[in-house]
Chains A and B, each alone.
Chain A
């Protein structure tokens, strides 16, 4: 109890107690939220480290029977790298253009609409993206299952993420910079290409890396587009291909120990790639602040 100018400022014990209790609850909820992260990482590392080996990383599953030990993940790594590269090549320029339109050429009704639907598209279930490319590319255009089809499906998922994060980064570019460029008599598009984009490039790169990380772990679309393959297939343009998440899914459905061991080793490989991308991207942004 404090006394100020003869007036008692009184916070009752009960109210203070409630506040303390709630603060405690909030702290507990943070612990509960982080528990699964710790558990998933701990289990994946401890179980995956046992099964991971050089031969696992350098061999495919060709000729490995359903219950045989051995076999590896090489073919899946090749597939994932190609599919994600295709997705990035397609979605990054397009996503950037969308962001540029919304930020630099907005506001207009179209810009608002585009921004809204880009947001809505970030919630598109990944399996629906897979179904779309299956119906459109694999069936309607009769291209069959391939790494390219998987890349297209991943691009559909990556596009809104790239567009959204680039948009945020472009907004951070101070308008004074734009105005100064215009004052030099430079047309708007030149100002965007040579001043605005380079200024935002570090942030945009971070966004792209996060998008790549997200898409690398996507399984559902690959199931319907790359379809999976036990052998190494270098060409993404023809025939079914494997991918790391897909490989993991096929091994995880088994009840046999040798197979599940491969699943954990694959999980460790995948999680190392994804988390490395994520953490590096975040550290890059954190540095800049």
Chain B
């Protein structure tokens, strides 16, 4: 690859310049030294310095940005957290602007996690099936075309999903919800105590599932396409059928990558705001009965309450946003680490 620096683990050319050949060409230059050092006139060195400074400055800015997000959220959230104390994590209600303010994220955090997990439960099998179909059964032109259609799902704005969800999907889901209650109501999760159906956590999860699906599908597709062809061929040579090839060669190889893809989907579901805000009929209760109307999430609560909130109320909303930020940050960092490790293993890196 590049003569003056060792192979970067994340980068690999597609068929051009096999790594390992040029790397061993002896050179007078040390790693990372500008190529121009030997002969370039001073003006070039200045140019190099400035350009390099710009690039590394921009990169540092990204790191600072994440710090700044945490800092400024913390700055505004501090007073609200002080006001609420530990009740912030146990209180269900949200009345931050009352003279006797009572607010906490217990119900919101519960709703966020519940709806996201439910969405994953629905989206992951379909996403993995899609990814497997596209990499194993229909590679080539048709597969690519279908793949970009699936990617198009991610391009539809969430507010349009919300609009569609509340006016089209929710009415259509009511018979499904009624059927689930009638036939599977013995499962506490699927029991509806009121007999009214509509803007439930279940409906919100279906919309979330649609939004999570393209992400999980895209990343697991990438993971499956990294499985060496030789692994598949070996399985086929042993007489494996198509499904056995998938089960023996493809899935074990991509296991940690799939976990990463699912977690990235989780991160997306946790932070989704507008679609949930439109579909869910907001209520502040910790309720496991997902078919009953009502429920709320941290993000949706911020969207619906921000306009009417006073300054204290807005600080409280920022405090809840800080919690969301922390949760999604952890989920994303873990997910990316897992995906990175798979990618490194696939490239035979360290």
Contact = CB atoms under 8 A, between A and B. Distances in A.
Interface of A: 9, 11, 15-16, 18-19, 22-23, 25-30, 32-34, 36-37, 39-41, 43-44, 94, 97-98, 100-108, 110-121, 123-129, 131-132, 134-136, 139-140, 156, 159-160, 163, 171-172, 174-176, 178-179, 182, 185-190, 192-193, 210, 213-214, 216-220, 223-224, 227, 245, 248-249, 252-253, 260, 263-264, 267, 270-271, 274-275, 278-279, 282
B306 interface: yes
B158 A219 contact: yes
Interface stretch (B67-75, B178-186, B187-195, B285-293): B67-75
Most buried by B among A116, A119, A121, A127: A127
B204 interface: no
Contact of B65 (A30, A156, A248): A156
- A-B pairs with the 4 shortest C-beta distances? A125-B271, A217-B157, A29-B129, A97-B58
If over half of A's interface residues share one DSSP class (helix, strand or loop), that class is named, otherwise mixed; here it is helix
A278 B1 CA distance: 33
A28 B133 CA distance: 9
Contact of B157 (A43, A129, A245): A245
A214 B155 contact: yes
Nearest to B206: A36
Given A30-B146, A171-B11, 19 more contacts: A32-B126, A32-B129, A37-B156, A102-B59, A105-B56, A120-B329, A125-B273, A128-B73, A131-B73, A134-B314, A159-B62, A163-B62, A174-B13, A176-B16, A179-B2, A188-B35, A219-B158, A223-B303, A252-B278
Contacts of B8: 103, 106-107, 111
If over half of B's interface residues share one DSSP class (helix, strand or loop), that class is named, otherwise mixed; here it is helix
A119 B263 CA distance: 13
A249 B278 contact: yes
B191 to A, nearest CB: 26
Contacts of A9: 239
Interface residues of B, number: 115
B149 interface: yes
Interface stretch (B81-89, B93-101, B225-233, B317-325): B317-325
20 contacts: A23-B243, A26-B129, A30-B146, A32-B129, A97-B59, A117-B63, A117-B66, A124-B69, A140-B72, A156-B69, A172-B14, A185-B36, A187-B35, A217-B158, A220-B158, A220-B273, A267-B160, A270-B159, A275-B152, A275-B155
